[in-house]
A and B are shown apart, each in its own frame.
Chain A
Amino acid sequence: MLKGQFVAVSTGMNLAGHISKISRSYIEQADVVYCLMPHSLGEVWIHTLNSNVKSLQPFYAKGKHRMQSYEEMIDAMLQDVRMGKKVCGAFYGHAGVFAYVPRMAVKQAVKEGFRAHMEPGVSAEACLYADLAIDPGESGIQGYEASQFLFYNQELNNSAYAIMWQIGLVGEYTAKQFETKKEWVEIFVSHLKKWYPLSHNVILYEAAVLPIETFRAETVALKDLPDAELNPKTTLVIPPSRSLQANQDVLDMFGISEQQIAAR
């Protein structure tokens, strides 16, 4: 095993309050920490844990392909690993959820013979369950990146919750901009008509990233989504539009009726 090492740690959503003890310890003990935080105060906080902190934010730019930004971030972190340093990548939320940079950095470091792994954390999805009081065990849950859902043949189960990540970027096919357009949201809504009536209420959710903020949970009718305020932090939550339907074929195989299934 070569001398350098890389750890991708998850800092959670709400500044300093969500991080695990072990992730905090990796930050404190690293030779260098690269961070990607949802608020500049997050970087200030990381600086209180380690004096050698570099922000990954400058790699982004409007008009620059996001994949180029990602590759540059990975390269910057691995350069230090190759120099034999203990490198920590601190990423907001869960470093492995809807994330490319931390995952690829770990993969590349391992491929080159370095020790590398990821520490889990509190994701936006975890916050959503707490803030909106949704239990994914109640009727099931499905999650999609909104643009991917729109551009590819994905199916929805409208008796379960649906979560559409990055609704504020829906239809942004160039990976060079950080916003959607009203006409793209209209196409998205039109696509959802296959599963939901336009009057169906949906929730616009944004987790709090500072303790002096409150989370956003705004209910709008699906038809009004194109006029709603959407930004890169916004997640669309679609509650079920119909109740669970018993699978009579399976119940027959068990020789039971729906009434015999243990009630919650």
Chain B
Amino acid sequence: MANKKLEEFVIRLSEDAKLMESYVENPKAVMRGAGLDETDIKTILKGETKEINKLLGSDMECYITGIITLMKK
């Protein structure tokens, strides 16, 4: 199930310089201030991509290479 609060926080973090500055300075406090669960905060602070993706409801593998031309025409 999607973690709406976390999704909204991460999206906001990507476009709000002031929030990002505060996050860089004290990530735990900023995430607590945003009302994130303690378990979510711990996972994010660990920085393990797979676990973070699980939290964000994204277990699927995104094929990000797909728009790239591989060979000469």
Q: Which residues of A contact B (CB under 8 A)?
A: 14-17, 36-41, 44-45, 48, 56-57, 59-60, 66, 69-70, 91-92, 95, 98-102, 145, 147-148, 151-152, 165-166, 168-169, 172, 175, 178, 210-214, 232-233
Contact = CB atoms under 8 A, between A and B. Distances in A.
B1 interface: no
Contacts of A232: 63-65
B66 interface: yes
Given A41-B7, A69-B66, A147-B70, A15 B14 contact: yes
20 contacts: A15-B11, A17-B14, A40-B60, A41-B56, A60-B63, A60-B66, A69-B66, A145-B70, A147-B70, A152-B72, A165-B68, A175-B70, A178-B63, A210-B52, A211-B13, A211-B14, A211-B23, A213-B47, A213-B49, A232-B65
B20 A147 contact: no
Nearest to A92: B64
Contacts of B57: 40
A15 B6 CA distance: 14
Contacts of A70: 66-67
B15 interface: yes
A212 B13 contact: yes
Interface string B6-41: 010011011100001001000000000000000000
B14 A210 contact: yes
SS class, residues of chain B in contact with chain A: loop
A210 B10 contact: yes
10 shortest A-B CB distances, which residue pairs? A15-B14, A40-B58, A17-B14, A38-B64, A211-B14, A211-B13, A60-B63, A98-B68, A232-B65, A99-B67
Given A41-B10, A44-B11, A212-B13, A148 B71 contact: yes
B69 A212 contact: no
B11 A37 contact: no
Nearest to A95: B67
Nearest to A179: B65
A38 B13 CA distance: 17
A66 B70 CA distance: 9
Contact of A169 (B7, B23, B65): B65
Among A36, A100, A211, A233, the most chain B Cβ lie within 10 Å of the Cβ of: A211
Nearest to A146: B70
A100 B65 contact: no
A99 B69 contact: yes
Contacts of B14: 14-17, 45, 210-211
